[in-house]
Amino acid sequence: MTGRRRTRTSSPVLPRPVKATLLSAGALAACASIAVGCGVVPGATGGSGDDPVTVMTWAPEKTAATNKPGMPAMAKAYARWVNAHGGINGHQLKVLTCNDHNDYVDAAKCAQRAVDEDVVAVVGSYSQHGRTFLAPLESAGIPYIGGYGVTDDEFTSPLSYPINGGEPALLAGLGEQLGKDCGPVALVRPDTTAGDELPVLLDSGLKSEGHASASDLRAAEDATEYSRHTQNALERATSDPLKRGCVVPALGDRTDTFMDSFRRDREDYPKVRMGTVLGSIDQSQINATGSKSSPYEGSYVTGWYPDANDSRWNAMRKVIKEQAFGDNRIDPADAGVQTTWIAYTVLKAAIESLGNGEVSAHAIRRSLDDGLKVTTGGLTPTLSWRFEDLIAAVDFPRLVNADVTFQVVRQGQLVAARRGFVNVSKTLENAD
């Protein structure tokens, strides 16, 4: 992004100066090379030989806002599958899980537990409190592999290895998708620090198509009804009688609650289109609203990966069937579950690249930093985190995958609206 560096975070922890962050990264590198004088080498669990490799996956569960129970559940299923087939390079995989409760204090506790347990990586996780959990991980030298990408911090920390473009790519991509077909656009999003980023990103995509900015409507993250918000959104989206407008709810788990109000209110207004991102809706939510009669019918949806019915997900589905059949926390159509699957694919590739060497946090970081290329069966582009693989978006210096997919709800099914991936790196570079 041009001309500005955002430092917002969803936790009240004060931002560290950029200089301090760079010094911290340098200190980590020095400590990784010279153990003497830096205390114990963190993340040493795994060792050599047949020692188990310990990692952690965290996500919020049983909260009044966004919940991602499928992510730790998928991590556990993946470990059972790997261990049932001989482990990774002979190492059994041990997965610890933690509930951050959508709370910055609990997010910090999860990170500290990861440090105390000497995990070699935190993998396939979700938290809105990036700065809170990344500080302890950075101090201990523990890599953060394949986070959900809900905070900017995941795209700035030198120890973060994102596998997708996170919320930035989704919103920028959705803006491009809607900019071609929509009249006035109204965005309904959480009134949180993380939510403050969404209008900027959506508008970057809209502007790339020569479209005006969206109306920005804030809503409580844990609201129990959205009548006022749906009416405001419909009024904004129908303000031009010559063009069919679009309403964009980006409320995570609360999108269903928003739709309850939207269904009742939309009959009093001209027709509008819907647009949102995976994570706010998925196939299971569409099915729950009546499939072909779903209020989501015709909605534009932007995701990171191929649609859930794509054959490229067959390997994941096989693992779920083998190790988690009947576990209703794991929905193969859920973007969080899919992200965890891909993140563990990266972890497996990194451990395998070490051969008979020690499996430690430092060794995994070294493998990733030295140009390890990870293929994911076509679910993402080939992933690599070398300097030359980073895109040129100033606000997101760790972003390596800016590809998204355009999808649409047709006859109750979420299907591809456009063949293949769409790269939104230029849109992100120009966002301001």
- Give the pair of three-digit tokens for residue 419: 């063949």
Smallest CA-to-CA distance from 193 within 8, 63, 65, 67 is with 8
More confident site: 157 or 5: 157
pLDDT digits (tens, 9 = 90+) for 100-121: 999 999 999 999 999 999 999 9
Give the helix/strand (H/E) hosting 249: strand 246-249
Q: How confident is the model at residue 37 (pLDDT cuts 50, 70, 90)?
A: very low
Please, which pLDDT band fits residue 49 given cuts at 50, 70 and 90?
low
Cβ atoms of 45 and 110 closer than 8 Å? no
pLDDT at 316 over 50: yes
pLDDT more than 90, % of the chain: 70
Confidence class of residue 3 from pLDDT cuts 50, 70 and 90? Answer: very low
The dihedral of CA 419, 305, 83, 52: what is its sign? positive
Distances (CA, A) of 289 to 297, 307, 348: 10, 19, 38
254-307: pLDDT as tens digits: 888 899 899 889 999 999 999 999 888 888 788 877 656 678 889 999 999 999
Q: In the structure, what pLDDT confidence band is assigned to residue 47 with cuts at 50, 70 and 90?
A: very low
Give the residue among 397, 398, 403 at the shortest CA–CA distance from 418. 403
Average pLDDT over residues 67-80: 97
Instruction: Identify the sign of the CA torsion 34, 44, 78, 65.
Output: negative
Q: pTM of the entire structure?
A: 0.84
Q: Which of 37-41, 61-65, 142-146 has the lowest mean pLDDT?
A: 37-41
The label of the residue with tokens 């790269």 reads 423
Residue 207 pLDDT > 70, yes or no? yes
* Alpha-carbon gap, residue 228 to 251, rounded angstroms: 15
pLDDT in tens, 356-394: 999 999 999 999 999 999 999 999 999 999 998 998 787
Whole-number CA gyration radius for the chain: 21
The pLDDT assigned to 10 comes to 39
Distances (CA, A) of 195 to 55, 230, 425: 29, 18, 21
Name residue 218's beta-bridge partners: 189
